[in-house]
A and B are shown apart, each in its own frame.
Chain A
Amino acid sequence: MNDMSPDSYVTPDGRTIGGVVMEMKNITLRFGGVVAIKDISFDIREGEIRAIIGPNGAGKSSMLNVISGFYVPQEGEVWFRGSRRPQMKPFEVAAQGIARTFQNIALFDGMSVLDNIMTGRLTMMKTGLFAQSFWFGRAEKEESYHREQVEKIIDFLEIQNIRKTPVGRLPYGLKKRVELARALAAEPKLLLLDEPMAGMNVEEKEDMSRFILDVNDEFGTTIALIEHDMGVVMDLSDRVVVMDYGKKIGDGTPDEVRNNQDVIDAYLGVSHD
């Protein structure tokens, strides 16, 4: 943690927010003639929960994909931990300590919850295919170690009861939680959540919010999330970026954003009273 950073500060609830870990500078992303993101700049600080909100088609998911390195913007620069990030392969992104979940759940349906989460630790396993197939020597010790880490995450997310259940049999809300578990298994420094609460009922949303806050609090993980549910976003996040038609129309604390006239007009709608 970069405690020495001159602009680090402590939030009202006692968390320390450090310096900038990731900075997007004048990002523009085009798909052929369609401009998905137009000249957007913002930063993410160490230890904060940063939300990206906007109406449908605003370019939120594209933005997240730029952060995760999946899309390479035509213009602009992504700075990560003080250096400009080159074009990277997904595993290189993972090795940098970035993990993500997907809007449309991307788990292995036929595999158990436990096995799915274990895949999150794949990049950390050092023994080869041969040793793992025959499960001898280092492979055995290594798997036990990783299993222990995975069990801690299972305990953390309170999914012990579905440990051995195939993911395909789980309801939607739990699948989302398993996906979060898999992302956490990679021990990320920066966690990207793509609509973690889409399609959930109120109770599931509350649970998920609590888990997101706990992850941030317990592991000090920096979190960037996209979310539709305004109530959730305003409660969870430290700072919010608001996008509309690929442009940034607001950036600041939830209160600032809520009172920003552009945001009210474009996204929250004009008040009717």
Chain B
Amino acid sequence: MGGDNLAQDQTATGGLSSIPALLTRNAKEFGGRPAYREKEFGIWQSWTWAETAEEIDALAMGLLALGIERGDQVAIIGRNRPSLYWSMVAAQKCGAVPVPLYQDSVAEEMEYVLDHCSARFVICGDQEQVDKVIEVKSRVPKIEHVIYVDKRGMRKYDHTHMNWFGDVQAEGRAGHSRLEPIMAERTAELDYDSTCVMLYTSGTTGRPKGVVLSNRNVVESAKNSAEFDNLGPGEDILAYLPMAWVGDFIFSLGQAYWTGFCVNCPESEDTMMTDLREIGPTYFFAPPRVFENLLTTVMIRMEDATRMKKALFDHFMKVARRVGPAILDGKEVSGGDKFRYWLGNLLVYGPLKNTLGFSRVRVGYTAGEAIGPEIFDFYRSLGINLKQLYGQTEATVFITVQPDGEVRPDTVGVPAPGVELKIGDNGEVYYRSPGTFVEYYNNPESTASTKDPEGWVATGDAGFIEPDTGHLRIIDRAKDVGKMADGSMFAPKYVENKLKFYPNILEAVVFGSGRDMCTAFINIDLNAVGNWAERNNISYASYQELAGHPQVMDMIQSHVEEVNASVAQDEMLSGCQIHRFLVLHKELDADDGEMTRTRKVRRNVITDKFGELVDALYSGKSEQYTETEVTYEDGRKGKITATLEIRDAKVVPTGGAQGIAAQ
């Protein structure tokens, strides 16, 4: 990068070109405001920005005393705690690179990453993490020092190359006059192009890759996104998502340091909901799963409420669903509706939001996977400004975001500030932005195949930009998108997600690539369908019997037909309507290799394993006998046999298939 560029960049962010520089500014400007809170021993402990700066300096000097060099990698493993966030900044102040790792990964996974990033220092949250590091240490000889935060259980360990976090800080404080100038020198060397952090992608395909993000990536992304949502120093966020995930790094470090807001760390993983309620964040992020679980809890508790309360809830939720989103978007609604919503807010929405800990949420985001429209609308109708964003580690999170007032469940929004988008010939989404990653660490081949010389990065997702609104819609993983026999686009995940939004459907697998029509396997959700069966006096002895019950088949058929109607609305994907389906006699299971451990369907395995069922779907038969090998949880194998009914579902006729893939 040339000097011109640098000068220009630094004016854009006011000369603040690194996280440590932002820390210095915050300590000066917001010195007395809280920077971190953590609940410990039942009380929220807090640290101001000035105190935070002191803690970080002490640690940085302690690391210098231990001999940390420029460019060293510092692995950081543990749950969200202020001390671990400080560790990241302290490493940067020493000219080293923080590498947060997923705390729940097993030792072997950790071994690969620790070895690949050649970490010299490892900072662990507690004994559990230290044990894993010790387990792999003999095979990862580069590890020199282990530092731990929680003293518990650590007394007996060999401390020749191990230190307690507090001792490292004490050493740093003691050597202040000697070490301070070295630290200041190293910190002063940081500029826009120095590495800010290295984050390992979760590695669903192959080995994890170390994504190198520069200060430019992080600071610019934080600045742009903070301005986009008007984030200020008064925000509170709850840091509970894995520290190794790019989102947490940007929210809890990038944006927090850019705007000077407060990061709150829960007491433990299990207290997250209580802590959420106590803190009442103003800015909140959660994957769809969290929102789904919360909604389920609310609904179950409402079922148990008194009839009066239930009636009140049902009535006002109906009002909210009708006018809530419009009011949130600032659109005009009638005076009567305004009053009804106000009353509902007084009686239902307000108390409900308070119970959930969402009273103060100004901006909420969900991302990672598709969220069910009903779930999304539920929160928005309560007046919670929940939005979707689309991003990835390589983009420093932000690719597209939904602006206020333009929020819809089926799109992921418009390009984030500074992001350029283009759609490739195969429908794949490409982006270029200030957040575009520098490289994959020690992996030039992957870097070259992901990022072209002009800086465009392939997302691996197929999608399209709506012509009239400019919103991006993600359809599926690019490699899963195919063509049907007539050339129209086939996007299985798009249809499967629509099916899975029904609580009765646990999994769906849609076939159709290269065929003349789409068909589907459905897995029922035993909890939901079992519950329904109980309420309707339907007796069943096994999963298989319930799955094959005619009334269950009817119910699933109606779901499939509703999905068909909704798919037909979409002119590009109307060919993906499901013509025939069957309900599988067993749950798709990772033990049988049908799914990955993260519960993603393995299409190829399923097509092979249930080949005769797929053939039956396309041969017009009305039932099919099948034998399937299953693996029990204790590893034994068995066989189950079944005769499955195959049904035809109604499809909505469309005006002929359109070949749109070559858009």
Contact = CB atoms under 8 A, between A and B. Distances in A.
Interface of A: 13-15, 147-148, 151-152, 154-156, 158, 160-161, 163, 214, 217-218
Contact of A161 (B40, B155, B270): B270
Helix, strand, loop or mixed for chain A's interface?
helix
B153 interface: yes
A117 B156 CA distance: 29
B274 A13 contact: no
Contacts of B153: 214, 217-218
B191 interface: no
Contacts of B155: 217-218
A161 B41 contact: no
A147 B41 CA distance: 9
A148 B45 CA distance: 13
A270 B118 CA distance: 54
A160 B156 contact: no
Contacts of A158: 268
A14 B40 CA distance: 30
Contacts of A161: 267-268, 270-271, 274
Helix, strand, loop or mixed for chain B's interface?
loop
B152 A14 contact: no
A141 to B, nearest CB: 16
Given A160-B267, A161-B271, A154 B42 contact: yes
B152 A163 contact: no
Interface in B326-367: none
A167 to B, nearest CB: 17
Contacts of A152: 41
Contacts of A163: 42
Interface of B: 39-43, 152-153, 155-156, 267-268, 270-271, 274
A218 B42 contact: no
B223 to A, nearest CB: 36
Given A161-B268, A217-B153, A151 B274 contact: no
Q: Which 10 A-B pairs have the closest CB atoms?
A: A161-B270, A151-B41, A161-B271, A151-B42, A14-B156, A160-B267, A160-B268, A160-B271, A214-B153, A155-B41
Nearest to A210: B153
A214 B274 CA distance: 27
Contacts of A147: 42
A14 B159 CA distance: 14
Among A161, A163, A217, A218, the one with the most B-chain Cβ atoms within 10 Å of its Cβ is: A161
B152 A160 contact: no
A220 to B, nearest CB: 11
B156 A155 contact: no
Contact of B270 (A148, A156, A160): A160
Contacts of A13: 156
B621 to A, nearest CB: 45
Nearest to A214: B153
B568 to A, nearest CB: 47
Nearest to A149: B41
A151 B41 CA distance: 5
Contacts of A155: 40-41
Contacts of A151: 41-43
Contacts of A148: 41
A38 to B, nearest CB: 40
A105 to B, nearest CB: 21
Among B41, B153, B268, the one with the most A-chain Cβ atoms within 10 Å of its Cβ is: B41
Nearest to B156: A14
Nearest to B39: A160
A152 B153 CA distance: 14
A156 B153 CA distance: 10
Contacts of B271: 160-161
Given A15-B156, A160-B42, A163-B42, 5 more contacts: A152-B41, A154-B42, A155-B40, A161-B268, A217-B156
A218 B270 contact: no
Nearest to A213: B153
A124 B40 CA distance: 24
21 contacts: A13-B156, A14-B156, A15-B156, A147-B42, A152-B41, A154-B41, A155-B40, A155-B41, A158-B268, A160-B39, A160-B270, A160-B271, A161-B268, A161-B270, A161-B271, A161-B274, A163-B42, A214-B152, A217-B156, A218-B153, A218-B155
